[in-house]
Amino acid sequence: MYEGPVIDAFFHLGWTNNGPDAPTDRETWMNDPMRSRVMRTFGQAGMESRTSEESIGDTIGLMEDAGVELAVLQAGLFYSGSADDVEAAVAKHHHVVSTTDKFTHIGTILPPRQGPASYWDLLENPRLIAAHKDRFDIRGIHIMPSPWGTPPNDKWFYPLYAKCVELDLCVFSYVGMPGPLWPTYPNYPLHLDDVCIAFPELRVVAHHIGDPWVEMMTHLAAKHRNLYICTSAWSPRRYPSELVKFMAGRWHGQAGADKVIFGSDHPLLHMTKTVRDARNLDLPEAVVEKFMYSNIKALLAR
């Protein structure tokens, strides 16, 4: 069993009761007819959720007990909003990051203002992330093709990717069948093939594994030098066999152990149990060490 340090690459602060402006507000998720399905799926609905409410101090205590050295907070704007909304989401995480060395954070962007195929001012988001890197020290950006109805290979994203390469920011992109009642097609992993061909220097982390196209996702990660898979929102006990086989072996000469990154998606999946189960994967300790620590540490260090 791997007993070394862990970096959780896809993390949210614990459920709060602080209203819709809180980083993770359980009531807001429950009242969203699309996201509420996920709350039921992960046992977070009803009078008592599987993951209890917790303060930031409680969260840090859980991290220390589990051996989690660092957690990567992911900002996100699920639906249309303003530049002020994006800044507020990023600033909340920056406030947390500035008070402790237990977190770093990934920013986000404005969704297409008028839905798919809306191409007004494609330099707005590049300007925004440049300002946020300077003011809030973001380490990357988080995009959500499914709720935005826009696949990641849409030309709407391309000026953003160019700016990410210029600023050395990574991109976390949602892939696979969405848990909420959002469209699936934008999350089809093969869209990332176009992105990685057009921007070979862009570091892309495909989070949520990419089910039901897991084998395709592993082949894409092996094909493209800077494309990685993050296991967020998946219990290690339920990792698809195609993913575990890739982690233990190779495809076209690429070792899968170098291309997969651990993430819990706490509090949807409780960090403590997810970390414990990942440590106990039936894989060589050296593979688990890369998966839970070295791969994301190297990616963030660039």
At 244, which CATH number?
3.20.20.140
Task: Give one word for 99, left, alpha or beta, with left for phi > 0 and alpha for psi -120 to 50.
Answer: alpha
Cβ atoms 164, 125 nearer than 8 A: no
* CA distance readout (Å), 175 to 187, 205, 226: 4, 10, 16
Contact residues for 105 (Cβ-Cβ < 8 A; gap 6+): 72, 73, 74, 75, 90, 93, 94, 96, 97, 136, 138, 139
Average predicted confidence (pLDDT) for the chain: 93
- Let me know if residue 213 belongs to a domain: yes
Compute the 3-state secondary structure of the chain and give helix, strand, coil in percent, each to the nearest 5.
45, 15, 40
The pLDDT tens digits of the residues spanning 171-186 come to: 999 999 999 999 999 9
- Let me know if residue 1 belongs to a domain: no
Q: Return phi, psi of residue 92, to 5°.
A: -60, -45
pLDDT of 46 reads: 67
Cβ atoms 106, 63 nearer than 8 A: no
Domain range spanning residue 113? 6-301
- Nearest alpha carbon to residue 113 among 63, 163, 148: 148
The pLDDT tens digits of the residues spanning 93-150 come to: 999 999 999 999 999 999 988 776 678 889 999 999 999 999 999 999 999 999 999 9
Residue 265 has pLDDT above 80, yes or no: yes
Domains: count for the chain: 1
